[in-house]
Amino acid sequence: MKSIEDKVVLVTGASSGLGKELAEALIAEGALVAATFRQREQADDFTTRSSGRGLGVVLDVTDAGAVEQGVAAVRERFGRIDVLANNAGAGLVGAVEETSEAEAERLFDVNFFGGLRMVRAVLPTMRAQGSGHILQFSAVGGFTGVPGLGVYAAAKAATDVLGEGLAKELAPLGIATTVLTIGIFETEFAGRSLGYVEAQIPDYERTPAGQFRGFIGNLQGRQPNDAARGAQAIIRLMTADEPPVHAALGGDAIEIMESKMAAVQQDLERWEHNARSTAKAAA
C-alpha cells in the first residue's frame, strides 16, 4: 500500500455526504486536499479549518469556465494533482416517461458532463507528471437499471463506461482509473438533496417506478452503509499499489452487481444459439 500523506487529492462535491467525509478523512490522514463547493462560505470554512493542508474551491461542475479556473487554482496552490475524486452529482426520482427533456439534460450535465469536464481539466497535469488516479463515483444504479431512477441510472451508467474507457486509455501514461459502484449510504441523497420530477403520471403509481418514490422517501436514516467508513474504504483504494478498475462500495453494491452479472450470464446462455445464428455461411 502507498501512503496518502502529502498527496494532492481533488474532491468534488464536498459540501455533504461521501464527498464531505472523504475530504475530512484525507486531511486527517495527512493528504493535501482541494475540495469543491458551490457556496463561498463553505469553501472558505474548509480552507480555514484545514490548517494549511486544504483549499476550498468554489466550483460548479456544470460551469466549464469555473472548472478550468478551479483546477488552475489547485495547481497554483499545490503544484500537482495526484488524485481526482470525481464525486459531485445529483439524483432525480421519476419514471423515464415522467422525466422531461430539460430534467434529463440537467441530470446528465451534473452526473456525466460535469465529471467529464473535471477529467479533461486534470489530465494535462497528470500526463505531465506521468502519474495520477481518477476515481469515477458511480452508483448501483449505474450498474443496473433502477425503476424510478431510470434517467439518473443512465447518466451514472455513462460515467461507468467512460471510466472503463479511460482506464484503457490512461494506463500506458501511468494514470490509474477506478469506477466506484456505490451502494446506499447514510447521506442526504435520499433526503433534502434528492429531487423529484415535476410531472407524475397516475398509471405508474402501482408500478415499481411509482413504488420506488415511497421507498426512497422513507429511506432516510435507515441506509445500510456509513459514510465515514465509506471514506476510509475509498482511501484504501487510493493507496493501493494496483488500484482496481471496478470497485464496489457496500455489501449491498456487491449483491446487486453479482445478481445482475448472473442474470446477464443466464440470458447469454439461453440465447447463445440465436446470437451465433448471424454468422456468415461457410463458403
Q: 50 catalytic, yes or no?
A: no
Distance CA 243, CA 192 (A): 33
Query: Choosing from 152, 204, 259, 280, which is the catalytic residue?
Result: 152
| SS3 label, residue 155 | helix
Contact in structure between 186 and 225 (CB atoms under 8 Å): yes
Q: Is 156 a catalytic residue?
A: yes
Residue 181 corresponds to which cell in the numbers above?
Answer: 459502484
Q: How many whole angstroms separate alpha carbon 92 and alpha carbon 194?
A: 6
Catalytic residue among 138, 193, 259, 277: 138
Q: Which of 3, 156, 260, 277 is catalytic?
A: 156
Residues 6+ apart with CB under 8 A from 43: 35, 36, 37, 56, 57, 58
Burial annotation 94-112 (CB, 10 A radius, 16+ → b, else e): bbbebbeeebbebbbbbbb
Alpha helices in 2-50, H assignment, sequence order: 17-28, 40-49
Q: Is 138 a catalytic residue?
A: yes
3-state secondary structure of 80: coil
| Whole-number Å distance between alpha carbons of 82 and 9 | 6
- What are the catalytic residues? 138, 152, 156
